[in-house]
Structure 1
Amino acid sequence: MAAPRSRGFLLRYLFVLALVLVGAHWSLRGSSIATVHEKALEHASDIKWPSSLSPLKALGLSGTSPSRYNFSLLESTSPPCAQMEGAEDVVLAIKTGATEALERLPIHSKTTLQCFPNSLVFSDLGENLDGIHIQDALDEFSEDIRTQHEDFEHWRRLHEHGRAGLDASAVGVHVAADNLEDAFSNGGWKLDRFKNLPMISKTLNQKPDAKWYVFQDADTYISWSNLRNWTSRMDHEQMIYLGSPAVIDEQVFAHGGSGYVLSKAAMRAVEEQYRNNQTFWDEFAANHWAGDCVLSWILSELGTGLTWGYPLLQGKKPATLDFVNNRGYDRRMWCYPAVSFHHVEQDTIETLWRFEQVWTAEMPDQPMRFGDIFLHWSLPQALSGHRTDWDNYSGDIVNFDERWDEAQCRQRCQDDEECLQWALSDGVCKTSTWVALGESSARTASGWMDDRILNLEIEACTEGEWIMPDS
């Protein structure tokens, strides 16, 4: 088994990478991007990290598994995101549930909520957790549904007994987006669809003076600096509904996990429509299965369609993305600013947030694009040659009927000139012609073809501007 590469090896590779970026057209917007990583590391000292902690490690670019950080590192100063202008113009509302809040919320108090001074958190249980005030999103839902609907049984237990009313088997259990059979048997998930419209009403009533309202799930990461750069270019007095598109029964709506954005004008119109017709819309939600889709129906009634914010608003986690080749909806992801990711683990929220702070401090007006995240966050972590207990999501099974060992799997990738990475699990060898970082996975080994990755040629961007409502 090959040993993990040394830190010295990684640093040499990063130096080579800088040269390749200039000489082989890795530039996103001209040659300036080639110096971003160096400038970010130089600026690390300005955020007052202890001299004993390497800036590489503090950025999560150590070439090993993503680092866990000591949050005391920022005790002496506010993070760069908190120093940007316009914080008072944006409200962030996080949707969670009692079964997941203990696991997913604490990381946001140390990262996301440091950037959004105007923030609210909603759940199916009102409580205070890790210094975060969590509001019950459903306490003003139509009484007949709250007290009688079978899907509110979970809420009724929580309302009567608090956390003692939780089904222990459901705590910390997350339902995969494509596993509706499990979803329909999960009490927290069944309640989730009822929260979207009450959250809009409560958010506007508590924060009526903002210009923009952003809604996300507890496992969503949102880049404050990119979000602010984006919304500052639009008119909040216009009816604007931004999101990553999804479809149910031909109704296009903003996928809630990717995060969605409403202008003040849209918020006011939706809140008024819901307030004046609450019984109808609550019953509509009861007969639907996706609350984010229900919201789109109200906006359709108001004559407002979705502005397709993909790929800025992203429904996947960065560890699984093909940053280089992804061209969903004929938009080249590499070139666009990265505003959100979904299904993001706590460690990844942590490392992305740290990376964003350095970027924001150095270039507050320069958008952090998906290509930048690949080059300076994802790729340096992958350039370790080999990892154990790690799955890099290589997807092409070489031969399911054969049993492979690590040396054979790596050689199989080496023999294929187009192969960039490989993974071995339970004797099954998989290879891939694209690059993904991946994540921790027991009894799985993964590797990358470092030299080939470093010599990939990336075309200069001819697109990637901010997606606007009229585009």
Structure 2
Amino acid sequence: MGYFTSRPQLIPGQLISRRRRFVVLVAISTALLGAILLALWRLASTCPGSSFCSGVFKYKTTIKEVHISDASPTSDDLRHAISPSPSSVPAPQQISGMAPVPTAVSTKGPCEGFPDTSNILLIMKTGASESFARIPTQLLMNMRCIFDFLIFGDMEQTVAGYHVQDSLDEVREEVKANNPDFDLYLRQKTCASDQETCNRNTNDNTASQAWSLDKYKNIHIAEKTWRQKSNYDWYLYVDADTYVVWPTMMEWLQHVNPKEQWYIGSVAFLGDFPFAHGGSGYLLSQATMKSFFGGKTDVAKEWDLDTRIVCCSDYLLSYALQHKVGVRVTNVWPVVNGEKPSTMSYGKAQWCQPIVTMHHHRFIEHLLQDKREGWDNLSEDVFYLDEKAREYSNWQLQRTKKGGLSSIEREAHLGFNQCERACHNDPECFQFRLNQGICAMSKSIKHGRPRKPETKDDEWLSGWDVPKINRWVQENSNCGKITWPSVHN
């Protein structure tokens, strides 16, 4: 007999078993289908306009002085996620061949309440030697909520699924050739494993080489940014360890007109020439970017030869902006701030000052304690010491309180408990530190940092008057109307 006529007959037990399996399969299929339909319904309900977050969605403009072109975008505009019209925001699109760019911010979940950042582009600078240590942390925090960003380094990479562009691939070849500044750049390209391993197995000073390479980046990064995304009102340039306080940033920018030429940051000096410190972050307005790069090509290459003889790229950018388009840096410290959280002062002079950036940011646990060993909390407003006990430097002696000392102050240098008592007795003292026979006190609050003793007698002990700090914070919790820095041409 043939195959189809010779199949064995099922006995009743086998038939029941197959029926049960059939019922189970139907139940599982129904459950999966129901879950898919429920997921689609929830996705439609959470995405504006039920467009599944892939099309056009509405948003409310909160920036008073924003001006965004309402011309219909070209296909190239959409490809580069150019800023939208006031009535709609195209979902950011993938640049061909790159990892996904950030999607539009949801009003639900971890980004709920996050400000509208659709008129500002974040540009983050990193290096291949540090990118995997710093970029993922940024991506897990505020960067997942901002509208759009670009990441530039000194090597093309994919980090945590995002594309890091090579900022130096267009530097003039004659500048790269036989230039020790580019030793790290070339070595990175031949590394067959991770950069940390390759750098560990070389006698070169990677940190020093990365610094030498960094000075070629900023103008090239700015030009590449303009080429890719030219319709934003503001361009915020930061390092990979810069922390941005976005709610304060967006509120502040309501008071500054992007149609005017602005180059804003925390001013540092090289000699007597001012520039915006790059690690603190700096802002270029749409008008400044257009004036510097609009309708031009190879702007950055004009400065490549000069870069070899300067120290740093943030200085060179300031020099180029001033001499090419007449835009000088505007200082807004402490709003744009280069201090670390560990070194930043919290006191009467700073308490109600708005802050939009901090540099060298680390996420640390609460550090204010009655006593912390092996710690320098950077107290240095006034010193108590015995000048006869040992030899002190001039700057230490200049900060020493002399004359009119109370009995408690005269004993402050004798030990931690005596130093603590003197701080508690001083209504203006928030914290204190004992090291090398010096009791140092501070009228502001600082976290500080770990400090290892160099000798057995060099122990670092720090303390905070926590009850006094808590009382002061409560008494000064209402800052009233915020005073923004005066920014005008």
Fold match (TM-score > 0.5) = yes
1:314 counterpart letter in structure 2? N
CA distance in 2, matches of 1:467, 1:385: 36
Residues 177-192 of structure 1: matches in 2 within 5 Å?
A: 186-192=208-214
Residues 234 and 444 of structure 1: CA distance in aligned 2, closer, same or farther (over 3 Å): same
Instruction: Name which of 434, 439, 447 aligns with 1:437.
Output: 447
Identity level (%)? 29
Structure label with greater radius of gyration: 2
1:304 counterpart letter in structure 2? V
Q: Paired residue for 1:317?
A: 340
1:129 counterpart letter in structure 2? V
Instruction: Name which of 388, 399, 403 aligns with 2:385.
Output: 399
Name the SS for the 2:378 alignment partner: coil
Instruction: Name which of 287, 298, 301 aligns with 1:265.
Output: 287
Q: Deviation at 1:382?
A: 5.8
Name the SS for the 2:255 alignment partner: coil
Aligned: 1:80 with 2:109: no
**1:120-164 C-alpha deviation (Å, 9 max, x unpaired):** 111112211223321111111111112332211111111233645
Instruction: Name which of 141, 158, 182 aligns with 2:171.
Output: 141
CA distance in 1, matches of 2:183, 2:296: 24
More helix by share: 1
**1:409-453 C-alpha deviation (Å, 9 max, x unpaired):** 323434555432122457764332322233445674321123443
Residues 141-290 of structure 1: matches in 2 within 5 Å?
A: 141-161=171-191, 163-164=194-195, 166-168=198-200, 186-272=208-294, 275-290=297-312
Name the SS for the 1:300 alignment partner: helix
CA distance in 2, matches of 1:276, 1:138: 13
Residues 290-301 of structure 1: matches in 2 within 5 Å?
A: 290-301=312-323
Instruction: Name which of 432, 443, 458 aligns with 1:422.
Output: 432
Q: Deviation at 1:259?
A: 0.4
Q: Paired residue for 2:46?
A: none
**1:192-225 C-alpha deviation (Å, 9 max, x unpaired):** 1111011101112222221110001111111111
Q: Paired residue for 1:306?
A: 329
CA distance in 2, matches of 1:81, 1:187: 42
2:355 counterpart letter in structure 1? A
Q: Deviation at 1:253?
A: 1.1
Q: Is the 8 A contact 1:322 1:436 kept in 2?
A: yes
Residues 222 and 278 of structure 1: CA distance in aligned 2, closer, same or farther (over 3 Å): closer
Q: Deviation at 1:117?
A: 2.9
Structure 1 gaps, min length 5: 1-73, 174-181, 327-332, 352-380
Q: Deviation at 1:257?
A: 1.0
Name the SS for the 2:297 alignment partner: helix
Instruction: Name which of 133, 136, 144 aligns with 1:106.
Output: 136
Q: Deviation at 1:256?
A: 0.6
TM-score by structure 1 length? 0.65
Residues 267 and 81 of structure 1: CA distance in aligned 2, closer, same or farther (over 3 Å): farther
Structure showing greater relative contact order (alpha-carbon pairs closer than 8 Å, 6 or more residues apart): 1
Residues 203 and 250 of structure 1: CA distance in aligned 2, closer, same or farther (over 3 Å): same
TM-score by structure 2 length? 0.63
CA distance in 2, matches of 1:134, 1:285: 23
Name the SS for the 1:242 alignment partner: strand
**1:259-310 C-alpha deviation (Å, 9 max, x unpaired):** 0001112112222497354443111222211111111112112111112111
Name the SS for the 2:212 alignment partner: helix
- What RMSD in Å do the two structures reach over aligned CA positions? 3.3
Q: Is the 8 A contact 2:385 2:437 kept in 1?
A: no
Q: Deviation at 1:258?
A: 0.8
Name the SS for the 1:88 alignment partner: coil
Residues 12-23 of structure 1: matches in 2 within 5 Å?
A: none
**1:237-272 C-alpha deviation (Å, 9 max, x unpaired):** 221111111111322111111100011121122224
**1:15-58 C-alpha deviation (Å, 9 max, x unpaired):** xxxxxxxxxxxxxxxxxxxxxxxxxxxxxxxxxxxxxxxxxxxx
Q: Is the 8 A contact 1:314 1:340 kept in 2?
A: yes
Name the SS for the 1:92 alignment partner: strand
